[in-house]
């Protein structure tokens, strides 16, 4: 029996290397979002030079009912049907003091769309100072 001489194998099996690289790729794809830390720079509010005028408050109840509260006139409260009635009432109040601020406060369960509709209506009516009321925790 004659033996054949062995030839050296000149090919490399790359399938295991591809498997390892795919596993490493998945590990890096999962780990990278966890390494990023989100930092949000919020604006700060300085002290105002103006005298704090008591603002007009627009309150939006859980059922979407609009109320205009004027603390300057002993808590005068008006219930309003919609944003157009709100604009008319605010313009009446701001006739004497056009720079008086208007603050919108809403119940936690109110759709944000109602808040934005009220704010948009006031801005379109050229009310100078419109803001949102927040509650500190």
Domains present along the chain, CATH in parentheses: 56-132 (3.30.420.270)
E strand or H helix that includes residue 59 = strand 56-60
E strand or H helix that includes residue 32 = helix 15-35
Higher-scoring residue by pLDDT: 12, 89: 89
Question: What tens digit of pLDDT does each residue of 49-97 get?
Answer: 555 668 888 999 888 889 998 888 777 888 888 888 999 999 998 888 8
Q: Are 87 and 122 in contact (CB under 8 A)?
A: yes
Q: In what order do the strands lie in the sheet with 66-70?
A: 76-80, 66-70, 56-60, 102-106, 130-132
The residues pairing with 84 across neighbouring beta strands, listed in sequence order, are none
**Band of residue 1 on the pLDDT scale cut at 50, 70, 90:** low
Which of 11-25, 30-44, 71-85: highest mean pLDDT? 11-25
Closest CA to 62 of 19, 105, 121: 105
> Long-range contact list for 35-38, CB < 8 A, 24+ apart?
none
**Band of residue 48 on the pLDDT scale cut at 50, 70, 90:** low
How many Å apart are CA 100 and CA 53, to the nearest integer? 7
How many Å apart are CA 82 and CA 64, to the nearest integer? 9
The pLDDT value given to residue 50: 55
Predicted TM-score (pTM) of this structure: 0.59
């Amino acid at each position: 029996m004659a033996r054949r001489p062995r030839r050296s194998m000149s090919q490399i099996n790359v399938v295991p290397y591809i498997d390892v690289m795919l596993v490493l790729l998945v590990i890096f794809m999962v780990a990278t979002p966890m390494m990023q830390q989100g930092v949000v720079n919020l604006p700060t509010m300085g002290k105002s030079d103006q005298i704090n005028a008591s603002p007009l408050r627009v309150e939006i109840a859980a059922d979407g009912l609009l109320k205009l509260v004027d603390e300057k006139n002993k808590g005068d409260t008006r219930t309003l049907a919609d944003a157009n009635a709100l604009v008319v009432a605010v313009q009446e109040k701001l006739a004497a003091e056009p720079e008086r601020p208007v603050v919108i406060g809403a119940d936690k369960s109110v759709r944000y769309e109602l808040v934005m509709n009220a704010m948009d209506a006031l801005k379109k009516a050229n009310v100078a100072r419109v803001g949102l009321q927040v509650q500190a925790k």
